[in-house]
Structure 1
Amino acid sequence: MNRYHALVLAVALALPCAKAQQPRGITDAINNLADQPATRIEFSYDGSQLRSAEDSYLYGGNPHHAVALYGITVDTSHFSRPVFYTPEVMSQIINIYHAAGWQHLVNANLTPAQGTSPAAPVTDMWLHFNGAEIDDVTVLVRGEREMNLIQISCMLRPLDLLHLGGHFGIPRVDPNAVMVPAPNGK
């Protein structure tokens, strides 16, 4: 194989991986968000598993709705008693994503107290854009005794996110939530 073919092959193999990565320090910050230890379950879907699901049932086989999903990871933490989410650590998480260029969406109906000791699930969503398309999504759902972190590596149009709700551990959009961009730095 000549050098040109080797270079083309290397670039072709690297392009699907050339997406935004989770910002440095985010894993530690999320692991420190709750005030107590948790039992954790994590599972991932790789590209081949996602393509199989797309082909078989996700969009009823309609190729119009095909999206580029490269991987989905779901990490669920279960707590033995109601949990307190540390506001300072949540601020650190928000700042880490903001510094890395991610767009934060929040529920405009949420008060700060509801975010620290939620009686109902509280959702934060971060989107990383590559031009007009989303190349990475992180969804953090904090509940009274459970926290879910869903990370999606993809190439999506914003509307595609609505279609993914309810599949692969991705929560459906709450019809009562008013998701708005967070104020700068929040």
Structure 2
Amino acid sequence: MKLLILDRDGVINFDSDAYIKSLSEWIPIPGSVEAIARLSKAGWTVAVATNQSGLARGYYPVETLDAMHAHLRELVAEEGGTLGLVVYCPHGPDEGCACRKPKPGMLVTIGEHYRHPLEGVWFVGDSRSDLDAALAVGAQPVLVKTGKGERTLGKGVPAGTLIYDDLACVAQALI
């Protein structure tokens, strides 16, 4: 199995410091949906691990989050691909859970779901917490410059981090 794990906001869709609170605010980054479909058609299993503290903050209900993910699945399917497991952390930053990145809980869940070791698996994100979560499970940290990526890059990234302009460039490198 070829497994790839993606962060969501800033990698697949545009991010907002005010949170993505509705389906109308969930806007794919150009080329990201096509990249997921291309990867899927090339034999990759593409999973998503995303912090969604907007749930804990009361900014949107879980039904809205589910609708966003259903829409993403539909868009990928329209391009001939399939999206794998989507896991999210619903907790706020001060709740002390094991799933909120930079903790590795969501990545562990994906690895267990697919019965696949995470060592060397690419985890693509746009923030330091994504990169740190990857390192915590021995995955390969990959930074995209979309979302908060440029800001993250400016603050320094862990040695060995792979850097790409966007998800389409990641797909091109893997395929």
More strand by share: 1
Q: Which structure's CA Rg is the greater one?
A: 1
What interval of TM-score do these two structures reach, taking the shorter chain for normalisation? under 0.3
Q: Provide the TM-score with structure 1 as the length reference.
A: 0.26
Q: Provide the TM-score with structure 2 as the length reference.
A: 0.27
